[in-house]
Structure 1
Amino acid sequence: MPARSVAATVLVGTLALSLTACAPAAGPTFDAVRAQSEEAVTEVVAVMPTGSTYTASGDPTSTPCGTGTATVDGPRGTAFATIQGQVTLPGAADAASVIADLPTALGDGWAVEPVGIDVDLATVRLNRAGSGVSVDITERAADAPVALDILAVSSCGRVER
């Protein structure tokens, strides 16, 4: 992945983490918030143009809330889930147009949120209603193939031991 694309993904991810609220000790489990994140990515991928392919970037990760890694504070024993991947768009698809059309394609169950940073790439931050999952979709800075980076971050969930 080109350095500019990595930098944009890191910046967008950092902002997503800073905006994600953590669950109280009696809130949802980590497994539940991870499943919500995976479902949100599945919904986003489902509205991509026909012929698009999704590739996950490794396994879902967890980060304890309130750690130096995350800027959010949460009760001990909570963590948020992060899902990353890439959608390769078909043929002559225009990444900026696909991103611009996402809020409409996803419908009322999604809200557009401010990205919080200016980047030279097309990007949108969407929040899935009811789950608090934030999904950033960013144009990948490369000549070919045309692709989008996806980063989904859940709210915090209880880690059951």
Structure 2
Amino acid sequence: MFDSTNKYSIEYWPDPQRGIREAYRVLKLGGKACIIGPVHPTFWLSRFFADVWMLFPKEEEYIEWFEKAGFKDVKLKRIGPKWYRGVRRHGLIMGCSVTGVKPASGDSPLQLGAKEEDVSKPVKNPFAFLWRFILGTLAAAWFVLVPIYMWIKDKIVPQGQPL
């Protein structure tokens, strides 16, 4: 498996497709890459916070990124906490693991242009930065409080019933 210190951080990558392409490049023939990350929330408020805060890809996007990079036998598996019994109606960010096998030696067939983000440039509007910081802080609180609520609800609602 492709292993990196960033394997659990795809939602922070400015260009996830570039990272997946790099995983393809460094793997040997028949090697397997695995990315673990969150999926786009279902509840409207969770979606709003996710879109403001960081990248939360849709499950289809993960598969598309792997296939475009050249991986074969791409598989997605949903992952989440043991106590979660819902249908994502509360908008919890459940995760997924995506794997793919490198079918041929060499570089990825995907050709990408220059990097899009230049982090060396200063923030142009400090008020926009402050606004995004405040929204990001609210989003972080939301994504901590909702799982706590769901965990408590799991302890109260009888087993076998959806939350």
TM over 0.5: no
If asked which structure has higher relative contact order (CA below 8 Å, sep 6+), I would say 1
Q: TM-score, normalised by structure 2?
A: 0.31
* More helix by percentage: 2
Q: TM-score, normalised by structure 1?
A: 0.31
Q: Which has the larger radius of gyration?
A: 2
